[in-house]
Structure 1
Amino acid sequence: MKPRQSKSTWNRGRKEDDSNNYKPCKRFGNMGRKRRNKKRLYSDANGIRSGSTRDGAGEGSSSPRTSTDYEIPGFYYDPEKKKYFKIQPNQFSSLGHTITNQNIEKKAKEVKRKENLNRQTDKLHTHHFLELISRQELGSISSCQFQRYFIHKRISCIDNNSTQTIDVPSIHGIVEHPKVMGLNSNCDKLISLWDLTSSLAKFINIAYVTMAYSGAIEIDFEKSDLSLCAGASSIFWTEKKKSLPLHLLYTTVPFIGNTSSTAYVCKVSNQGLCGTPNSYSIGQKYIWCCALDSDYRRFSIGCEKGALLIEVETRRLWEIYSYKSDVFSTTFTHQNPCLLFCGNMKGHILTRDTRSHPSRTLTELRMKGVVTSLQLTQDDVHLLSSDALGNALLWDLRMKKVVVEYRGMKNEGTRIPIHMDDSEKLVYGCDLEGYTRFWCKNSGRLLRTIPSPVPCSSTCIPVVLYSDRWGNKAGNSALLLGSGNKLYMYKV
């Protein structure tokens, strides 16, 4: 009779057996399987399974950890410090060293922005131009299509890094951030509105734009037509004819006391202000926007709980009904400056005839969010609008419907405008994350996305301006981006 083996001998014999040939009994088979699964799933801090040795001599293979392996609810894993930090509530986001969800998202966006800046873009080569010429000679595209395709190709090849940086000086204090930038009809003067760090006032400047022999665009802030410091809240300018002086409309709001808001209309020539600006008292209302018609007869004020229409000569004032909602954007038509468009806080775009009763609405268009900007084409057929939810739409005013939608804008309740270039072939704008996007006006196709050269936030969103006639030179195309106290030029 064969003697019975001891427990230690039985265990030793079991270890010597091959794991592939071992067949557990029905009673203890599940228990052994659980032990083996637990052994496989266990891993050390370096991501090496326990089945393999630390020096890599074992049979098991090491697998790198993914980002999901480090996730613990309520904690944030810093891969640089290799530590876990408890996530604090968002009200502590103002403290830079505190780990909150907002600070984590901000850090991830900054890393993504730097990666996009270092990414190489396509270059514009001669064969692109020759290919378009050959297609035009064969008759496959027309001359208008040739110009549009060539502009789109140039826009898609803009470099991520700026080619020129311009510092903005000021005699009124340290410049903090731009609010509004634009060009006159000749594209040789830059009209801008800036915040100042030392006070609540704003800095209005009209500077000359010239083109140097080297091809660089020069903006001379020291020799400017106008350098005005005022508590301005909005600004608007228009030119009916190129020979006439520029008409400037700006509004001021009181910060202390019970004084009323004021609107100023003035003429600016090459020698500066022409006479004393005409002032108009608006009342104790905060002014969001303003617009002046091309005949210089009336101007509109978008303020709290409605809009105002004022005649320049007689100073007569009408209150425009806007469903008792704040008006954030307003504009007049170009061909016949008797129609006024107002966009309010409830998403309504209302059309008024200034010759009839101000409470009568001709048309009403609807958007999903707060209407932040309105811009009409030169023929007054299409209307470009944007809201605070990131929607950008092109309306056909004859059919009263949306014909093109521009996707990609990111916004969360901030007043961010969207623009159309002078040739009316491109639509562009900067979103809440600081990315500048270009679209084709007719098709809505996204052409280019340019990251911000500096970090940005909801309080200092970059201001962009594009033109193809900088310095009154045809074909001198460039994108101007203002952030902080600097201007960044992107040559096209």
Structure 2
Amino acid sequence: MPGHNNYNPLTKESIQYKAMECKRLKLLEEELKQKKKTARAGLNSSVLLQKRQLGLLSSTSYCRLVHELKVNCMHRRKIEIHSPDSSVAGTNNFKIIVADAACEQIFTVNDVEHGGCKYGIINLSGLGKESPTVEMYDNLYFTNRKVNSMCWASLTHPDSHLCLMGIAETPGCASLLPASLFSSSNSGDRPGMLCSFKISTAWSCAWCLNPQINACFSTGLTRRVLVANVVTGHQQSFRTSSDVLAQQFATQTPVLYNGCRSGEIFSIDVRQRNRKGQSWKAIQLFHDSAVTSIRLLKAEHYLMASDMAGKIKLWDLRTTKCVKQYKGHHNEYAILPLHVNEEEGLLTAVGQDCYTRIWSLQDAHLLRTIPSPHPSSKDAIPSVVFSSRLGGRQGVPGLLMAVKQDLYHFSYD
């Protein structure tokens, strides 16, 4: 009726959100009280050491199980971010953080309130201190384009550049920026943008580390894959039947793996020139939902893939069959990355419910579920980095989590 004031706040969504928030607060309280349970019954450090000394455990198995124990003992500490411009630090939400190969620094993409993005580089050398602090380089860059995807690129030396895929109402832009652009204090010494060209909506990107294909990166577009050489400017285009949401190059062979919105995963040999029809597709795998992330394991016989149905599968590329499935991941529509750490034997993924989950790579056992320090929402999905050497060769092991305007370090106890 017109003018009524009868408002019922009880809806299905609000009841579900309240239940999720109660669960999150309970898990946070357990973390503060250090109520940690081992993921496997009877697993403790003294038993592992005894078995190792008796020769019942190999060095690789011993290291893997020790990492499982340490993961369950990680405790959260907030990181103080030092920035030359104090008015800029901690004012915008983190969207993406990606570490370089040595985990000495992370590239950060932050959403800006009035639209667009801000991005820069943070040095992680201060994580080992009692009160962890990190330094943000002087040069912060703002753009009116939304950065949809990015990756580190090794052109002149390892992790020398950054590939950025930006989208806007006008045609998007693919850019290759020198990493020194963010750390150079003298404006006269700053190198310029190496490569930039207009594209349609970009969903993913990947840099090629295979020595057979020099200075190439790939972009996953709307129903198209574009492979570009940044030195010669030569471009190859491959038409697809669906949007390409995830990509990764193999390092032992000149092959590019792609994951599509249709659920298809296929590989391309980028040396071929005859691209009529769909005959250029080599390996083909299929998920029941849109593939959001793919990761090749080191030997490149196995490929890890996640989709929008919340399923994470390990595929054997030799038999094209799923050999393992990692349960517990939550996703409905977001493009969320997978983080594979083979040296530690761990798989890490952040779900749409804002929980960070860690599995054992070997047997797909869920080791730990970490709640977000902030209430779950669409704009508060954490972005994480896991490494046993955060900060470089002498770095500290643990998990780095960026959520809202804050940065957290989950350090080994």
Q: With structure 2 as the length reference, what TM-score do the two structures score?
A: 0.85
> What SS does the corresponding residue of 2:240 show, helix, strand or coil?
coil
Candidates 385, 392, 395, aligned match of 2:315: 395
Contact 1:175/1:195, CA 8 A, preserved across alignment: no
More strand by share: 2
Q: What is the deviation of 1:164?
A: 2.5
Q: Distance in 2 between matches of 1:481 and 1:474?
A: 20
Inter-partner Cα distance in structure 1 for 2:286 and 2:159: 37
Q: Distance in 1 between matches of 2:284 and 2:120?
A: 36
User: How much does 1:439 deviate?
Assistant: 0.4
Percent identical: 25
Q: Distance in 2 between matches of 1:167 and 1:211?
A: 10
* 2:221 is aligned with 1:308: no
Aligned equivalent of 1:326, options 243, 249, 263: 243
Instruction: Quote the Cα distance in structure 2 between the aligned partners of 1:456 and 1:470.
Output: 26
Partner of 2:166: 252
Measured after TM superposition, the shift of residue 424 of structure 1 is 5.4
Shift in Å at residue 212 of structure 1? 6.0
In the TM superposition, what is the alpha-carbon distance from 1:274 to its structure 2 partner? 5.9
Root-mean-square deviation (CA, aligned residues, Å) is 2.7
How far off is 1:418 after superposition?
A: 1.7
TM-score (norm 1): 0.72
Equivalences for residues 121-270 of structure 1 within 5 A: 121-122=35-36, 128-159=44-75, 162-167=76-81, 175-197=91-113, 199-211=114-126, 214-221=129-136, 223=137, 226-230=139-143, 231=145, 232-239=147-154, 244=158, 246-255=160-169, 259-269=170-180
- How many aligned residue pairs are there? 385
Higher CA-based Rg: 1
8 Å Cα contact 1:172/1:229 also seen in 2:
no
Q: CA deviation at 1:147?
A: 0.7
Counterpart of 2:44 in 1: which secondary structure? helix
Do 2:218 and 2:227's aligned partners in 1 also have CA atoms closer than 8 Å?
Answer: yes
Closer/same/farther in 2, CA of residues 244 and 367 from structure 1, 3 Å limit: closer
Tell me if structure 2 keeps the 8 A contact 1:183–1:191: yes
**Alpha-carbon distance in structure 2 between the residues aligned to 1:122 and 1:173:** 34
State the alpha-carbon separation in 1 of the partners of residues 127 and 82 from structure 2.
Answer: 18
Letter of the structure 2 residue corresponding to residue 381 of structure 1: H
Structure 1 residue 449 corresponds to structure 2 residue 369: yes
Verify the 8 A CA contact 1:168 1:485 in the aligned structure 2. no
Deviations 1:377-404 (A, max 9, x none): 2332221111011001112222222222
Residues 302 and 330 in structure 1, CA contact (< 8 A), matched pair in contact too: yes
Distance 2:300 2:374 in 1: 37
Name the residue aligned to 2:25: 114
* Cα deviation digits, residues 109-166 of structure 1 (max 9, x gap): 1111111111242279xx933321211121211111111111111112234xx22343
AA aligned opposite 1:334: T
Q: Secondary structure at the match of 2:18?
A: helix
Q: Return the letter of the residue paired with 1:183.
A: A
Distance 2:77 2:88 in 1: 28
By relative contact order (CA 8 Å, sep 6+), the higher-ranking structure is 2
How far has the Cα of 1:271 moved from its partner? 4.5
Q: Which amino acid aligns with 2:345?
A: K
Once the two structures are TM-superposed, the CA of residue 473 in structure 1 deviates from its matched residue by 4.2
1:75-114 alignment runs, 5 A limit: 98-114=9-25
> Are the equivalent residues in 2 in contact too, given 1:185–1:239 (CA < 8 A)?
no
Task: For structure 2, list consecutive stretches of 5 or more residues without a partner in the other structure.
Answer: 1-5
Q: CA deviation at 1:175?
A: 3.8
Matches of 1:175 and 1:399, distance apart in 2? 49
Equivalent-residue separation in structure 2 for 1:424 and 1:148 (angstroms): 6
Give the deviation of 1:421 after TM superposition: 2.1
Q: For 1:347-358, what aligned pairs fall within 5 Å after superposition?
A: 347-356=263-272, 357-358=274-275
Query: Partner amino acid for 2:108?
Result: S
- The alpha carbon displacement at 1:452 in A equals 1.1
CA contact (8 A) 1:247 1:266 kept: yes
Residue 291 of structure 1: aligned partner? 206
Distance 2:124 2:378 in 1: 29
Preserved contact between residue 63 and residue 344 of structure 2 (Cα < 8 Å): no
Aligned position for 2:3: none
